Amino acid sequence: MVSLARRPLSAAVPAGNLLGIHLFRCPDAVGIVAKLSECIASRGGNIHSVDVFVPDDKPVFYSRSEFTYNPRLWSRHELHKDFLNLSRCFNAQTSTVRVPDLDPKYNISILASKQDHCLFDLLYRWQEGRLPVHINCVISNHDRPQDNHVRRFLQRHGIPYHYLPTAPANKREKEILELIQGTDFVVLARYMQILSENLLKAYGKDIINIHHGLLPSFKGGNPSRQAFSAGVKLIGATSHFVTPELDAGPIIEQMVERVSHRDTLQSFVVKSENLEKQCLAEAIKSYCELRVLPYELRKTVVF
């Protein structure tokens, strides 16, 4: 087993070359890394890093590779063809290759409710170029006025805002499904509605959610106040894939922070919201950098 620590993307790619990323999952076999290296080297590429995981109890091979890619020596069409042949050779369940500087950014939609902290943090990171995505639209069941800071930001950048008020008998899922068609994945930035199994099946792609780490001990209204009143010492946030079972999808990222008797309710809430923002952004970044693979029913491999 080869296991390297996670590192920044695009570490020192030589001039004239671009960064390529390959994510792979297949039945374990002898010679996979050798074939992968041969595939890249035969086209004039060079592996920058490789992270491999093979579970002790299952013959399944997982890998993520970063390599130099020169489009003058290796056309994008040939790149796709070569990795497709590699995938067929090893009967791969997953084989994804991207060249971030050439390939289109991921097209996403964001769903949010009343709370702005996760939504605006994502918008700010996107504006700063720190999230490799194109935001198709923002959908909310909360009506923000035109002079709201979120609405002003969206108008300034030409991102549509769709207000879809929900009711117990009408979750507006038909309209939501129409708006998110054509996206690569969807983000729930504190969207306080449960998506039905029918919508999940109809969409058929990944949906990433965030929730605070005060569950399951503090359910119902105002969990932060409940946790603060109970004197908890550790708070957290979890970002995960959405499945029909509420808040039980495979985990992508988790973060924690200590709190103490010195915290006020206000500082407690600020720390909790900051964790949610950071955790969700890191999960999206990991997903876009091809660091995330499904592992068993409820788990993920995150390189």
Write a three-state SS string for 23-51: EEEEECCCCHHHHHHHHHHCCCCCEEEEE
- Give pLDDT, residue 13: 61
Which CATH number does the domain 18-98 belong to among 3.30.360.10, 3.30.70.260, 3.30.1360.200, 3.40.50.300? 3.30.70.260
In the chain, where the domains are located: 18-98, 106-302
pTM for the structure as a whole: 0.91
Q: Residue 216: is the preceding peptide bond cis (ω within 30°)?
A: yes
Q: Are 202 and 295 in contact (CB under 8 A)?
A: no
Residues 244, 249: Cα–Cα separation, whole Å: 8
Torsion (CA) 76, 77, 78, 80 in degrees, nearest 10: 80
Which CATH number does the domain 106-302 belong to among 3.60.10.10, 3.80.10.10, 3.40.50.1390, 3.40.50.170? 3.40.50.170
Task: Tell me if residue 28 is catalytic.
Answer: no
One pLDDT digit (tens) per residue for the chain, 303 residues:
443 445 555 555 666 689 999 999 999 999 999 999 999 999 999 999 999 999 998 999 999 999 999 999 999 999 999 999 999 999 999 999 999 999 999 999 999 999 999 999 999 999 999 999 999 999 999 999 999 999 999 999 999 999 999 999 999 999 999 999 999 999 999 999 999 999 999 999 999 999 988 766 777 778 889 999 999 999 999 999 999 988 889 999 999 999 999 999 999 999 999 999 999 999 999 999 999 999 887 899 999
Residues 100, 13: Cα–Cα separation, whole Å: 13
Single out the catalytic residue among 28, 101, 103, 247: 247
